[in-house]
Amino acid sequence: MTSSTDLQNGTQPRPERFSALEGQLSAWRRHLHMHPEVSFQEHQTAAYIAGELRGMPNLEVSQLTPTSVLAVRKGTHPGKTVLLRADIDALPMTEENSFEFVSRNDGAMHACGHDGHTAILLGVAQLVSEAPAWDGELRMIFQHAEEQSPGGAEELVFETSLMDGVDVATGLHLNSQLPAGVVAVRPGAFMAAPDNIYIMVLGKGGHAAHPEEAVDPIAIGAQIVSNLQHVVSRGVSAMEALVVSVTYFQAGTTTNVIPDRAELKGTVRSFDPGLRERAPAMIERVVRGVCEAHGARYEYRYENGYRPLINNDEVAETLRQVALEVVGEARTREANATMGGEDFSAYLEKVPGAYFNVGSGNAELESGFPHHHPRFTIDEAALSTGVQMMYAAALRLGKAER
């Protein structure tokens, strides 16, 4: 921290300014938590965010898509153009928490922490708007629809002018499995490509007492499920990371009829682009082989999800340095790579950047439930950590010489 008494260009706000913001961060987060909206339907959420931003000086506020919001702080001095991203959408699920700011929208819940991400970026916007000067340009994108493929990042990055002239991007995800106050970052592969598979086994229905006259799609489907595990354990090097999980198996209607079809769906997760390219054919070979062996036909579709999220090593190192300053060495960790997916990867197709985690777990507050759990919540102390990290990262990345 500097001893500067004012917000100066290129300096951190005083620590007191961060503490003074804490009540506001909670208020934003709780409002958003009470009014969750699911992917591509974040109209009220976007209106609320835009309204808050329009009350802040020195920002240009616009909407590049109907449910996202962009706030820009134009530079007074030359420098890099830095993009900060928060995702704003909720999940289609019913909240089981009992605090007073639980979801007021039936069937929607902020169970991933995006209410917190939004509050954090609003906090950064507030501080940035108060800075008398700024190096370069800061773009703060409140992105819709992270939770639903094809994702909001795809259209913002590839169909709008958002990334024109951007030099570097960063964003964060709260993490309930890390204690509040901890920051975790890693270079390289961080999150997987979350692809989907859809398989229909087409057999021949018949009387359950005479399976020899039928082609039983359930027995064949079960063999596909177990044989797909060999794609991972015997088809791919142990040094390569691949997950194939069948998550849906639907067939039949009653006890004495062999149905004519079985429907399987699942997910395929990978980091390595080469392995990801091989996966569709490896899986289809198993489906085709098992079906042919037993006289069934099949339909098969492999759907690409988000790209794998690969952090730029240099930017990740900058974020690690920022974390050392903001939370100290004891609270700076190397993040674990995860098989989860994240459409922040779309920004990294265009510019170097890195994604990081801020811990939001606190046993006393019962904020250790996993993300997407009906009792998920966060320790709001993480919000201030997030603001300090993002603000310091924006300053540092805006100046960085490359």
Q: Which residues are catalytic?
A: 89, 146
Cα–Cα distance for residue pair 83/173, rounded to 1 Å: 15
> Which among 29-37, 105-113, 252-260, 355-363 is the span making contact with Zn ion, rule CB under 5 A?
105-113
Using alpha carbons only, how large is the chain's radius of gyration in Å?
24
| C-beta closer to Zn ion: residue 112 or 141 | 112
Q: Does residue 49 bind Zn ion (CB under 5 A)? A: no
| Residue with the shortest CB distance to Zn ion | 112
CB of residue 73 to Zn ion, shortest distance in Å:
25
CB of residue 38 to Zn ion, shortest distance in Å:
12
Instruction: Count Cβ neighbours within 10 Å for each residue of 107-135 and write b for 16 or more, e otherwise.
Output: ebbbbbbbbbbbbbbbbbbbbbbebeebb
> Which among 1-9, 108-116, 286-294, 373-381 is the span making contact with Zn ion, rule CB under 5 A?
108-116
Binding mask 234-253 for Zn ion (x = CB under 5 A): --------------------
Q: Does residue 90 bind Zn ion (CB under 5 A)? A: no
CB of residue 350 to Zn ion, shortest distance in Å:
21
| C-beta closer to Zn ion: residue 91 or 258 | 91
CB of residue 372 to Zn ion, shortest distance in Å:
6
Cα–Cα distance for residue pair 342/149, rounded to 1 Å: 10
Own/partner contacts of 361-366, CB < 8 Å, gap of 24 or more, are 361/175, 361/176, 361/177, 361/178, 361/179, 361/180, 362/179, 362/180
| C-beta closer to Zn ion: residue 112 or 389 | 112
Are 46 and 142 in contact by the 8 Å Cβ rule? The answer is yes
CB of residue 309 to Zn ion, shortest distance in Å:
12
| C-beta closer to Zn ion: residue 298 or 376 | 376
Are 259 and 198 in contact by the 8 Å Cβ rule? The answer is no
Q: Does residue 112 bind Zn ion (CB under 5 A)? A: yes
Q: At what angle do helices 381-399 and 114-130 cross, to 10 degrees?
A: 50
Cα–Cα distance for residue pair 42/34, rounded to 1 Å: 13
Contacting residues toward Zn ion, per CB under 5 A: 112
